[in-house]
């Protein structure tokens, strides 16, 4: 992991980060190493937001930088294109939470690993998630939340999926800042993933 890269990205130095990304790719650095550094930087950004050092515009800026890095890196990730998609995943940040950093990284990682991902965005009501499950019939649903207030929204979403008679047809994974095994039990999800790699591994296991 490149500490200088992590620091610059956490400090939101967009131009420098994108230049460094290009240089690393030209050097032949493994794209996943670059993404891992980006993920580490995003964790720092998240902590700065929680502590009040960063505000919403900073989060949005960080998301833009992540997208920029992704665009440079993505063409260099070797995965077998032209193959059938591995499976379908519906993913959303639950109602009341507007954090998309972690979710975006998970969406990106699932995408490059060959899954068809339906990203519903942030602050998504349970009913919208249920409608999407009915529409696309995914094997996995991912619920993301950074704030502790997201736990109740996740629980409600799982309950709505149950009420709609869809619970047995999907596996539900949750992830985000404060999530652990206790939260998973409270919410009624099948598993929680501590990062994007864990999310990909869960999909591999389930699909």
Digit-coded pLDDT (tens) for 90-134: 999 999 988 777 788 888 788 878 899 999 999 999 999 999 999
78 φψ region: left (φ > 0), alpha (ψ -120 to 50), beta (else): beta
Please state, for a pLDDT cut of 70, what percent of the chain lies above it.
96
Q: What is the pLDDT of residue 82?
A: 53
Q: What is the pLDDT of residue 1?
A: 67
Same fold, 3-76 and 88-206: no
Tokens of 74: 């993505």
Please state whether beta strands 191-192 and 140-144 pair in parallel, antiparallel, or not at all (unpaired).
unpaired
Give ∠ CA 198-201-205 in degrees, rounded to 5.
140
Q: What is the pLDDT of residue 99?
A: 79
Summarize the confidence of residues 50-78 as an average pLDDT: 86
Q: What is the pLDDT of residue 156?
A: 97
Task: List the chain domain ranges.
Answer: 3-76, 88-206
Q: What are phi and psi of 123, to 5 degrees?
A: 55, 50
Can you say how many angstroms the Cα of residue 81 is from the centroid of all Cα atoms in its chain?
22
Given a cut of 90, is residue 63 above it in pLDDT? Answer: no
The answer to whether 171 and 180 have CB atoms below 8 angstroms apart is no
Q: What are phi and psi of 91, to 5 degrees?
A: -135, 145
The answer to whether 69 and 96 have CB atoms below 8 angstroms apart is no
Measure CA of the first residue to CA of the last residue in the chain; give whole Å: 31
Residue 11 neighbours by CB under 8 Å, 6+ apart: none
Q: Which helix (H) or strand (E) holds 181?
A: helix 181-187
Class of domain 3-76: mainly alpha
CATH number, span 88-206: 3.40.50.280
Can you say how many angstroms the Cα of residue 50 is from the centroid of all Cα atoms in its chain?
18
The more confident residue out of 168 and 149 is: 168
Which pLDDT tens digit goes with each residue over 171-185? 999 998 778 899 999
The answer to whether 109 and 197 have CB atoms below 8 angstroms apart is yes
Which pLDDT tens digit goes with each residue over 16-52? 999 999 999 999 998 888 988 887 888 888 789 878 9
């Amino acid at each position: 992991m490149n500490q200088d890269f992590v620091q610059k990205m956490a400090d939101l130095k967009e131009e420098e980060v994108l230049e460094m990304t290009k240089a690393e790719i030209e050097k032949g650095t493994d794209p996943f190493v670059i993404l891992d550094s980006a993920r580490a930087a995003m964790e720092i950004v998240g902590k700065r937001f929680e502590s009040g050092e960063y505000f919403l515009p900073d989060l949005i800026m960080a998301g833009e930088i992540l997208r920029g890095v992704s665009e440079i890196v993505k063409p260099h990730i070797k995965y077998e294109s032209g193959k059938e998609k591995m499976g379908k995943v519906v993913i959303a940040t639950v109602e009341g939470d507007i954090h998309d950093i972690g979710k975006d990284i998970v969406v990106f990682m699932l995408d490059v690993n060959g899954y068809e991902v339906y990203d519903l965005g942030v602050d998504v009501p349970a009913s919208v998630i249920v409608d999407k499950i009915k529409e696309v019939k995914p094997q996995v649903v991912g619920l993301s939340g950074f704030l502790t207030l997201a736990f109740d929204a996740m629980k409600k979403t799982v309950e709505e999926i149950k009420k709609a008679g869809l619970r047995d047809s999907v596996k539900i994974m949750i992830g985000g800042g404060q999530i652990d095994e206790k939260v998973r039990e409270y919410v009624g999800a099948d598993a929680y993933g501590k990062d994007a790699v864990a999310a990909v591994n869960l999909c591999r296991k389930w699909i």
